[in-house]
Amino acid sequence: MAKANKLLMAANSAMVFTLLCFLVAAYLAWIQGDALPLRTVAIMHMLQIVFAGLFKLSYVLRLIAQDELGLALR
């Protein structure tokens, strides 16, 4: 039970962190793209894909923790 609680907290934190990283990468790629070198913009676009995947992985871990705790899956 304690492991499931820790997993839930870690997954929630990871979701927030990856969302914020995704938003920063999107801002740098799309809004500030003209002021940055092309290589940096390309890296920001790639990081958007990476952070989206990590966000989805965090959500799956959250679902696993909720299932172990007997909570409603949302």
Mean pLDDT, rounded, for 9-18: 98
Is the pLDDT assigned to residue 74 strictly greater than 80?
A: no
- Pair of tokens at residue 54: 């990590």
| Structure confidence at residue 65 (pLDDT) | 96
CB-facing half-sphere around the CA of 30: CA atoms within 13 A: 8
In the predicted model, what is the mean pLDDT of residues 18-22? Answer: 98
